[in-house]
Amino acid sequence: MNIPQSSFPRIIIIGGGFGGIALAKKLSKKEAQVVLLDKHNYHNFQPLLYQVSTGGLEPDSIAYPIRKVLQGYPNFYFRLANVLEIDTQGKRVLTNIGDIRYDYLVVATGSETNYFGNMGIQNKGMAMKTIPQSLNLRSLILENFEQALLTDDLHERDALMNFVIVGGGPTGVELAGALAEIKKGILPKDYPDLDTRRAQINLVQSGDRLLPAMSEVASRKAERFLEGLGVNVWKNIRVADYDGKCVTTNTDTVFETATLVWAAGVQAVGIKGLDAKEILARGNRLKVNHFHQVEGFEEIFAIGDVAQMQSDDFPEGHPMMAQPAIQQGRSLGENMVRLIDGKPMKPFVYRDKGSMATVGRNKAVVDLPKFKFQGVFAWFVWMFVHLYFLIGFRNRVVVFINWVYNYIRFDREARLIIRPFKKQNQADRSKLMQD
């Protein structure tokens, strides 16, 4: 990997997401050789992926080069590498570009879509976890309308304009809201010769309320906002299968659709060599103690979505969200410095700063530890927080300008089919969906 030997201990971080970057920043000026490995050369700001899928933002504005984040820091090395396996005995990381020895290893590989073994949905549905997947979805949505314009078959036309989003968490809610706004504000102008009033946006939630991780008032309000936008909210329905044309459920309800978006589950990204049953918790997450050490290892740590730290307040581990990942990265950074200095580490305590979701223009829900509010002010808070956490000054400016422009013009100008998404046969499609 062309990384020099150093007198400092070598810390390898796998993953330049929220957790990995926060950790690397904490360590970058310390007496440690930090090697960050990621299969992408950019940090992906996942909370805004739905805006890429719906033409509100260009992908470049939510991605940031990992090298630039840590430019100029001494003893820091980034390698574009796909980590394949951990040799815990030999303390080596095996990657597609070679092997590397570690003194300390931090797994921050995040999470991936969980289809719960349903191959129909995996092969025929769309996921939205990476930038390529969001671009695929953007293309598919636009291609559907182009195709709907051409067909004489009303049944087929309706299916092309029928969208089914599975999962009533923030991702499903935000995507459904954005599609409803496109239907209302953009489609009639873009496709005057198509009866776009027939377009349907269906949000299917297996539980009895949307945004189950938020307060009841936030759930109720989000549902009301969505219904106001014309989204069909289906609760207490579990999607059973999808064959590319028809979504079946555990009830009599069936959806004829060319587009199913699966936003109903995630699981940790596992790595071979660190996959013994005893160290895995629900959703494939690695069990860690309060110092982020993976069960059974003193020199291997895990943070972010991939880690499950049980506590009285969080018996299932911290939520798989950006804040826990960032706070864990910072805390581990401080602890690693203590470890290197021979001082005792401090246990991690998560400070819940609240959660939020946006439904659309002037419509968001915010739950802070002491206040809960919804509507226009919540929407401004949502925008401010997302701009604040977005990495890179340029990205913040570009996103801000885009939002102001879209707000004034009621528009989303990134509705471009740059990379056509062709529905393939099952095997090819599955390959194409991998990032």
Ligand X SMILES: Cc1cc2nc3c(=O)[nH]c(=O)nc-3n(C[C@H](O)[C@H](O)[C@H](O)COP(=O)(O)OP(=O)(O)OC[C@H]3O[C@@H](n4cnc5c(N)ncnc54)[C@H](O)[C@@H]3O)c2cc1C
Residues that bind ligand X (CB under 6 A): 14-20, 37-40, 44, 46-47, 49-50, 82-83, 108-110, 128-129, 170-171, 269, 271, 304-306, 320-323, 325
Tokens of 157: 């036309």
Nearer to ligand X, 75 or 113 (CB): 113
Nearer to ligand X, 37 or 218 (CB): 37
Nearer to ligand X, 294 or 320 (CB): 320
Residue nearest to ligand X (CB): 17
Paired sense of beta strands 232-235 and 200-205, if any:
parallel
In whole angstroms, how close is the CB of 360 to ligand X at the nearest point?
Answer: 15
Q: Which residues pair with 232 in a beta bridge?
A: 202
In whole angstroms, how close is the CB of 194 to ligand X at the nearest point?
Answer: 29
Catalytic residue among 112, 143, 174, 223: 174
With DSSP H G I counted as helix, E B as strand and the rest as coil, what are the percentages for the chain, rounded to 5? Answer: 35, 25, 40
In whole angstroms, how close is the CB of 389 to ligand X at the nearest point?
Answer: 8
In whole angstroms, how close is the CB of 17 to ligand X at the nearest point?
Answer: 2
The DSSP-derived string for 351-395 is: ----EEEEEETTEEEEE-SS-EEESHHHHHHHHHHHHHHSSSHHH
Q: At 379, which amino acid appears?
A: W
Backbone dihedral angles phi then psi of residue 405, each to the nearest 5 degrees: -60, -50
In terms of Cα–Cα distance, which of 46, 63, 50, 126 is closest to 360? 50
Number of H-type helices and E-type strands within the chain: 13, 24
In whole angstroms, how close is the CB of 19 to ligand X at the nearest point?
Answer: 3
**398 Ramachandran zone, left/alpha/beta (phi>0; psi -120 to 50):** alpha
Q: Which residues pair with 126 in a beta bridge?
A: 261
Nearer to ligand X, 240 or 321 (CB): 321
3-state secondary structure of 321: coil
In whole angstroms, how close is the CB of 357 to ligand X at the nearest point?
Answer: 7
**Helical ranges in 18-130 per DSSP H:** 18-27, 49-53, 66-69, 119-124
**Helical ranges in 187-289 per DSSP H:** 187-190, 216-228
174 is catalytic: yes
Tokens of 156: 């087929």
| b/e code 348-365 from CB counts within 10 Å (16+ = b) | bebebebbbbbbbbebbb
Nearer to ligand X, 157 or 324 (CB): 324
Is residue 233 within 8 Å of residue 203, measured between CB atoms?
A: yes
In whole angstroms, how close is the CB of 126 to ligand X at the nearest point?
Answer: 12
Nearer to ligand X, 160 or 322 (CB): 322
Nearer to ligand X, 109 or 139 (CB): 109
- Tell me which residues are annotated as active site: 174
